């Protein structure tokens, strides 16, 4: 008589007799399988259970992480069967299909049904649930089963299925297709997959005869595995997104922007949608923004000495603090963290933004709308009549906005804003180039802060690199060990997981004011700031390399420094 799984686990010393008895009591109450109870109670891992079941049932156990599956196998097994039974086909030899599964509850039924559909013998191996799910995503792509079902329904109804990428279609037909339950499900699957992968942006990009879906994770764009047949549903997908964002689905010639609010589990997310017409159709970019994000200066990645400087300058009663850097460098997050720190019932804070990325409780936020003449400059003038203590301008783009912001700082307000310059000293040159006189800059500006975002080494696969010729750098004249990420599932095998900021803070002291009045170049301003203690972006990055947070390659790539 075959041994019970509980006895096997006790014999292998994976659980104690006491744990087994507690799990059996739980099983009686909940009706779940014994193995599921033991995993839920934290007594064993799923892998330990499956390896023990492998011995009991004489079914091989396999690790899918290190397995490469032939595309011919994937093409033989429909996505709808794979998704329905949560199995992964891994091998097809002489009319025998081998599938990996983790759920033994419907083991016999799954094998019989798949074998009947495909007309072959089906054998099983055991694999962890997460590995099966990841393999399905990797080889079949996002929403593969949904795409397959939609196209099968169309062909079953006698409809001619042709690629919709770049083709003109009637608006009423597209709208009807966009509201089809299957298309709604497909768009939801794309969104859910992006959120699960920690993506900040989704790019849907039509080409001549294909449709690409890419996710931006930690600042880098990655192609997402999707079925090639998704191109047949391009128009319906774009129209569904337009309907969700309340945009005009019949308009395809001009750019459109909209917003969507969704809930995923317990999280509420704000999706910012941008539609841009191109040669082969409309490109869609969806920015994913959490509505409940907590902003804290301590979480920005500032070194202790820079954090002290920032906390001091944002508590000045008046003046202008400008954060500089390219798009996507985290400027808005720094401004929001500063405002959140200062946000008390004793202060009136007003912002004007384009667009409003996050809603901040207790702060008045104004959205720029040029169509009705709500520009940065006009909104700033109106803000001054509302008795604010602190003002934030999303970006200084022109002389008019710069002049109003400077005047606000000179009349007793604390003003925050951003500029697009490469470094902190460049912010001064940009204001002068716009037409702001140097004497007004010296009177109004408190500090210029440049920043970038660098990827953090994955903590799950972080290791010290031993080769001194390529892995040691000099920080303060001392050689230090360097670290890398080997690459694992947690970091998508990139070696990086998450991002942090690197900073360059130029405070406007008396000597800097003198140089500004002399219209000194940004290089001279930077050298003087370094002389009195300012760290450059590159130097701040090296400090984070020394702390084992990031890599020298990442810092070099981000700052474009020559060392």
> Residues 218, 222, 225, 228: is their CA dihedral positive or negative?
positive
Report pLDDT for 173: 54
Query: Given pLDDT bands bounded at 50, 70 and 90, which one contains residue 49?
Result: confident
Report pLDDT for 158: 47
Query: Given pLDDT bands bounded at 50, 70 and 90, which one contains residue 209?
Result: confident
Give mean pLDDT, residues 120-134.
89
Q: Render pLDDT for 426-452 as a digit per residue (tens, 0 to 9).
A: 999 999 999 999 999 999 999 999 999
Measure the CA–CA gap between 363 and 348, rounded to whole angstroms.
Answer: 7
- Cα–Cα distance list, 346 to 294, 321, 362, 411, 504 (Å): 21, 21, 11, 19, 31
Least confident of 10-19, 218-227, 547-556: 10-19
Pairing of strands 414-419, 256-264: unpaired
Report pLDDT for 562: 38
Report pLDDT for 470: 46
Determine what percent of the chain falls in helix, strand and coil, rounding each to the nearest 5: 45, 25, 35
Residue pair 502/537 in contact (Cβ under 8 Å)? The answer is yes
Report pLDDT for 229: 87
Q: Is the pLDDT of residue 170 over 80?
A: no
Measure the CA–CA gap between 368 and 362, rounded to whole angstroms.
Answer: 19
The long-range contacts involving 16-21, CB below 8 angstroms and separated by at least 24 positions, are: 19/43
Q: Which of 47, 41, 44, 45 is CA-nearest to residue 64?
A: 47
Report pLDDT for 563: 40
Give mean pLDDT, residues 112-122.
89
Measure the CA–CA gap between 399 and 419, rounded to whole angstroms.
Answer: 12
Measure the CA–CA gap between 34 and 9, rounded to whole angstroms.
Answer: 11
- Other C-beta atoms within 10 Å of 51: how many? 16
Q: Is the pLDDT of residue 178 over 70?
A: no
Q: What percent of the chain has pLDDT over 90?
A: 46
Query: Given pLDDT bands bounded at 50, 70 and 90, which one contains residue 169?
Result: low
Q: Render pLDDT for 275-300 as a digit per residue (tens, 0 to 9).
A: 999 999 999 999 998 877 778 899 99
- H helices of 371-504, where? 376-384, 399-410, 424-434, 438-444, 468-471
Query: Given pLDDT bands bounded at 50, 70 and 90, which one contains residue 413?
Result: very high
Least confident of 37-51, 154-168, 441-455, 491-505: 154-168
Looking at residue 359, what DSSP letter applies?
-
Q: What are phi and psi of 561, to 5 degrees?
A: -85, 155
Q: Which helix (H) or strand (E) holds 25?
A: helix 17-30
Residue 387 buriedness (CB in 10 A; 0-12 / 13-18 / 19+): exposed
Q: Which residue has the tokens 């997959």?
A: 193
Residue pair 340/295 in contact (Cβ under 8 Å)? The answer is yes
Give mean pLDDT, residues 456-477.
71
- The full DSSP string for 433-495 is HHT--HHHHHHHEEEEEEEEEEEEEPSSSEEEE--HHHH-EEETTEEE-EEEE---GGGTTSS
Q: What are phi and psi of 272, to 5 degrees?
A: -100, 115
Q: Which of 45, 4, 135 is CA-nearest to residue 82?
A: 135
Q: Which of 185, 186, 282 is CA-nearest to residue 238?
A: 282
Measure the CA–CA gap between 71 and 315, rounded to whole angstroms.
Answer: 60
Q: Which of 103, 7, 2 is CA-nearest to residue 46?
A: 103
Report pLDDT for 396: 93
Reported pTM? 0.80
**What CA dihedral angle connects 501, 507, 508 and 514, to 10 degrees?**
-100
Measure the CA–CA gap between 498 and 251, rounded to whole angstroms.
Answer: 38
Report pLDDT for 160: 42
Of the spans 13-17, 21-25, 127-131, which averages the highest pLDDT? 127-131
Q: Is the pLDDT of residue 208 over 60?
A: yes
- Cα–Cα distance list, 475 to 443, 450, 540, 541, 552 (Å): 36, 21, 10, 10, 11
Measure the CA–CA gap between 471 and 135, rounded to whole angstroms.
Answer: 34
Q: Is the pLDDT of residue 502 over 70?
A: yes
- pLDDT: which is higher, 111 or 413: 413
Q: Is the pLDDT of residue 403 over 90?
A: yes
Average pLDDT, the chain: 86
Q: Render pLDDT for 235-269 as a digit per residue (tens, 0 to 9).
A: 999 999 999 999 998 888 999 999 999 888 778 88
Q: Which of 318, 171, 329, 159 is CA-nearest to residue 235?
A: 171
Q: Which helix (H) or strand (E) holds 146?
A: helix 144-156
Report pLDDT for 83: 85
Query: Given pLDDT bands bounded at 50, 70 and 90, which one contains residue 477?
Result: low
Report pLDDT for 140: 87
- pLDDT: which is higher, 340 or 374: 340
Measure the CA–CA gap between 428 and 509, rounded to whole angstroms.
Answer: 13
Of the spans 55-69, 97-111, 147-161, 230-244, which averages the highest pLDDT? 230-244
Q: Render pLDDT for 325-357 as a digit per residue (tens, 0 to 9).
A: 998 899 999 999 999 999 999 999 999 988 888
Give mean pLDDT, residues 60-81.
87
């Amino acid at each position: 008589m075959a041994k019970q799984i509980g006895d096997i686990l006790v014999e292998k010393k994976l659980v104690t007799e006491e744990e087994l008895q507690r799990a059996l009591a739980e099983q009686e109450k909940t009706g779940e399988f014994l193995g599921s109870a033991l995993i839920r109670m934290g007594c064993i891992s799923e892998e330990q259970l499956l390896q023990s079941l492998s011995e009991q049932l004489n079914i091989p156990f396999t690790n899918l992480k290190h397995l490469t599956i032939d595309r011919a196998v994937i093409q033989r097994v429909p996505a709808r069967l794979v998704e329905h039974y949560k199995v992964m086909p891994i091998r097809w030899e002489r009319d025998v299909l081998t599938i990996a599964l983790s759920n033994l509850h419907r083991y016999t039924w799954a094998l019989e049904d798949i074998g009947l559909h495909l007309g072959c013998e089906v054998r099983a191996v055991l694999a962890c649930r997460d590995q099966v799910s990841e393999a399905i995503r990797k080889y079949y792509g996002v929403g593969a089963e949904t795409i397959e079902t939609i196209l099968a329904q169309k062909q079953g109804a006698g409809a001619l299925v042709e690629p919709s990428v770049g083709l003109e279609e009637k608006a009423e037909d597209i709208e009807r297709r966009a509201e089809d339950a299957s298309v709604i499900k497909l768009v939801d699957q794309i969104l859910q997959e992006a959120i699960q992968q920690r993506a900040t942006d989704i790019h849907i990009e039509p080409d001549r005869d294909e449709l690409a879906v890419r996710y931006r994770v930690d600042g880098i764009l990655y192609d997402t595995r999707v079925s090639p047949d998704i191109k047949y549903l391009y128009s319906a997908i774009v129209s569904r997104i337009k309907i969700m964002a309340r945009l005009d689905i019949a308009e395809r010639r001009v750019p459109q922007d909209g917003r969507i609010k969704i809930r995923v589990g317990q999280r509420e997310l704000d999706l910012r949608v941008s539609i841009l017409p191109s040669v082969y159709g409309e490109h869609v970019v969806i920015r994913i923004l959490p509505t409940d994000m907590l902003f804290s200066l301590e979480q920005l990645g500032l070194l202790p000495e820079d954090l002290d400087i920032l906390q001091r300058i944002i508590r000045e009663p008046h003046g202008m603090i400008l954060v500089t850097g390219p798009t996507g460098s985290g400027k808005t997050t720094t401004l929001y963290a500063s405002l959140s720190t200062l946000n008390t019932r004793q202060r009136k804070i007003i912002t004007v933004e384009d667009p409003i990325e996050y809603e901040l409780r207790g702060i008045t936020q104004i959205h720029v709308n040029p169509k009705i003449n709500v520009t940065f400059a006009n909104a700033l003038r109106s803000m001054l009549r509302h008795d604010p203590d602190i003002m934030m301008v999303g970006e200084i783009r022109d002389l008019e906005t710069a002049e109003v912001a400077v005047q606000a700082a000179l009349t007793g307000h604390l003003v925050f804003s951003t500029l697009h310059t490469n470094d902190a000293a460049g912010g001064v040159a940009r204001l002068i180039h716009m037409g702001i006189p140097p004497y007004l800059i010296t009177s109004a500006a408190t500090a210029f802060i440049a920043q970038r975002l660098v990827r953090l080494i994955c903590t799950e696969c972080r290791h010290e690199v031993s080769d001194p010729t390529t892995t040691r750098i000099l920080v303060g004249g001392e050689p230090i060990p360097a670290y890398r990420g080997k690459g694992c599932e947690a970091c998508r095998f990139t070696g990086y997981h998450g991002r942090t900021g690197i900073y360059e803070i130029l405070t406007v002291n008396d000597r800097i004011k003198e140089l500004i009045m002399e219209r000194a170049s940004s290089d001279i301003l930077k050298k003087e700031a370094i002389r009195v203690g300012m760290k450059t972006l590159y130097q701040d990055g090296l400090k984070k390399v020394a702390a084992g947070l990031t890599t020298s390659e990442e810092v070099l790539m981000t700052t474009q420094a020559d060392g």
